[in-house]
Chains A and B, each alone.
Chain A
Amino acid sequence: MEKFITHTGTAAPLRRSNVDTDQIIPAEYLKRITRHGFEDGLFGAWRKDSDFVLNQPAYQGVSILIAGPDFGTGSSREHAVWALQDFGFKVVLSSRFADIFRGNSGKGGLLTGLVDQADIELLWAAVEANPALEVTVDLDKREVRAGDLTATFEVDDYVRWRLMEGLDDIGITMKHGDVIAEFEVKRPAFMPTTA
């Protein structure tokens, strides 16, 4: 996984709450067995509307999504993270994220920054006034900077460390194989098996 320290790019405002993962990537696209190539399905239904923010010429090439509250609700599909990344997003900012989506993002290297709704409103206004505005997301300082606006964001300490180091979770856990084996010896015998 690539290390994430800071990212600078342009941002799109998504003025909607409760953007569920069925909207981020409709089920039809989930039949693929590959991990890439989901960009065409991102916000599949809304992209058919020419007024949708990501269809507007001013917001082409964006890499930061500024979303309404409760982003990523619903299904556990990690394809939602892959679709955002395949489209070019590095960061999603929202005042509330669904737990599973946020966990999935951290695994795949998509940064989800928790920003106060008041700051989200300011960021929306700023990138709507000037879609070309450069937005910097600084994971080290936990700051979003856009023009003269600076907002802080929350991110889990451990996830932040892992993203900044570009570390893969499984590799970290595999180092503790002996501790896992010790635990397994003590599991109650009445627990079921599937074999």
Chain B
Amino acid sequence: MAKTLAEKVWEAHVVRRAAGEPDLLYIDLHLVHEVTSPQAFDGLRATGRAVRRPELTLATEDHNVPTIDILKPIADPISKAQVDALRANCAEFGVPIYSLGNVEQGIVHVVGPQLGLTQPGMTVVCGDSHTSTHGAFGALAFGIGTSEVEHVLATQTLPLKPFKTMAINVDGELPVGVTAKDVTLAVIAKIGTGGGQGYVLEYKGSAIRALSMEGRMTVCNMSIEAGARAGMIAPDETTFEYLKGRDRAPAGAMWDEAVAYWATLPSDADAKYDAEVFIDASTLSPFVTWGTNPGQGLPLTANVPSPADAVDETDRVAIENALEYMGLTAGMPLRDIKVDTVFVGSCTNGRIEDLRAVAEVLKGRKVASGMRMLVVPGSVRVKHQAEAEGLDVIVKDSGAEWREAGCSMCLAMNPDKLAPGERSASTSNRNFEGRQGPGGRTHLVSPAVAAATAIKGHLAAPADL
């Protein structure tokens, strides 16, 4: 029977199948960070269980860590305790860890792919909803809760009910200046924050094929914002090219064997999806969010919507609440929204191509007076590469800050935060109330829009400069 990519990967990982029970699925790679793991390790200790496969497990420190003065002890004692707990747990259970100061440290979803650990056809989990990022390689990758982290640590498996499949077809050519981030924001606005619930999304079509691996990671990363636990893209030459020669990618005869297997993974031509969505790439333009969930987004050329535009009562209340929280007036042009902070980074847009896109816009220009702009590489490797290319100099010359690797201002767990009432344009993934700091207001944007906004002082695209 014809199968989709997701079904093929699923079937290849079924350890045990029994009527009336979830499938028991094998997990090839388990990524761990400091926030969602301490209670899982406690659970192992309480039950006297070991980590079944420490060599399929990797920990890194990212959510809590500061992005300046990283070699000093972490100032916040509670953050420090959590990072210390991760280090102690990894030592006790034999789990490899990349700590602050290690050249391989960084955001967990940047680290896995850059090491070549994330490969087509694998199952990848992490106690973090943006694990969907790894689906860009044709892996089945999804976020899990702490109970599941403990389950994977103890058994290297997870009991799971099969997902439904949804094809997101993006065909045609993206107009100049339209990026992977704009694609994903447009997809979420179209299907809604709940549209992907219960599904694995498979992004297909010529516009997706034309994306680089980094662009594909941006798209898959935000699948969860459409409610889908996982997003996938079939592996192809772009994928193989990216992987070849990476530290943990297979080499020699193993490489050939792997590629031969990976080439069997794309969905069969006559495979059926439970749902399909079609988007014409040529109609897309730079996209920004105006509200308090990632589905509340519009093209930058649009105006802030009105509660009167709502499709139903629930939507009307949601728009009203969002306008109030965001301090916006219905009908005002999105371009007139002034921001005081710009954040570039995160597992969505903290990779080298993102930093290049930002530097290209910033080059020879200055950020607006009073603007705070943070540029935070997703990993130490990304930072080093950017510095080798001179991007850090461009960033600093423009008046922006060049930081160390970490999750930074994406989630208000470390010193990089918005103050109440501050408003950001952010390349991260969530514009929830208080996400970047209590009372802070977030507009999600692409790296290029972030940079243009920093220069203009209001939401803007590079074409506006």
The interface of chain A, by Cβ under 8 A from chain B, is: 15-18, 20, 22-23, 26-28, 30-35, 45, 68-70, 73-79, 81, 96-100, 103-104, 107-108, 117, 156-158, 169-170, 172-174, 176-177, 179-180, 183-184, 187-195
Contact = CB atoms under 8 A, between A and B. Distances in A.
Contacts of B295: 18
A193 B193 contact: no
Contacts of A170: 43, 47, 49, 150-151, 154-155
B62 to A, nearest CB: 13
B147 A76 contact: no
A33 B56 contact: no
Contacts of A30: 35-36, 63, 413
A156 to B, nearest CB: 7
Given A100-B229, A169-B159, A189-B254, A23 B433 contact: yes
Contact of B64 (A31, A117, A172, A176): A31
Given A99-B197, A195-B96, A158 B321 contact: no
Contacts of A81: 145
Given A100-B145, A192-B249, A69 B432 contact: no
Interface residues of B, number: 89
Closest 4 CB pairs of A and B: A104-B145, A107-B147, A78-B145, A33-B38
B55 A195 contact: yes
Given A23-B433, A169-B159, A16 B145 contact: no
A183 B78 contact: no
B55 A28 contact: no
Interface string B153-178: 01111010100000000000000000
A68 B79 CA distance: 33
A73 B147 contact: no
- Most B CB contacts (10 A, CB to CB) among A27, A34, A75, A157 go to A27
Contact of B432 (A23, A100, A174, A177): A23
B317 A16 contact: yes
Contacts of A45: 433-434, 438
- Most B CB contacts (10 A, CB to CB) among A31, A174, A188 go to A31
B145 A76 contact: yes
Interface string B69-90: 0000000101101100100000
Contact of B227 (A15, A16, A99, A193): A99
B250 A183 contact: no
Given A73-B193, A79-B146, A103-B148, 10 more contacts: A31-B76, A33-B39, A69-B194, A76-B128, A76-B129, A78-B127, A104-B147, A169-B159, A194-B55, A194-B96
Interface string B111-122: 000001101001
Contact of A108 (B147, B154, B225): B147
Contacts of A107: 145, 147-148
Contacts of B155: 170, 173-174, 177, 180
A17 B434 CA distance: 17
Contact of B116 (A76, A172, A173, A192): A192
A78 B129 CA distance: 11
Nearest to B151: A170
Contacts of A173: 24, 151, 154-155, 157, 159
Contact of B161 (A17, A117, A158, A184): A158
Given A78-B145, A78-B146, A190-B257, A26 B434 contact: yes
A22 B39 contact: no
Nearest to B58: A194
11 contacts: A20-B293, A23-B433, A32-B78, A68-B314, A69-B194, A76-B36, A76-B129, A169-B147, A180-B16, A190-B261, A193-B55
B202 interface: no
B147 A78 contact: yes
Contact of B197 (A16, A78, A98): A98
B314 A31 contact: no
B82 A76 contact: no
B85 A33 contact: yes
Interface string B21-63: 1101010110000011011001100010100111111100001
Contacts of A188: 257-258, 261
Nearest to A156: B161
Interface string B8-22: 000000011000111
Given A35-B39, A169-B147, A190 B254 contact: yes
A195 B54 contact: yes
Interface in B311-327: 314-315, 317-318, 321
Given A22-B434, A176-B16, A34 B39 contact: yes
Contacts of A68: 314
B22 A158 contact: yes
Contacts of A193: 55-56, 248
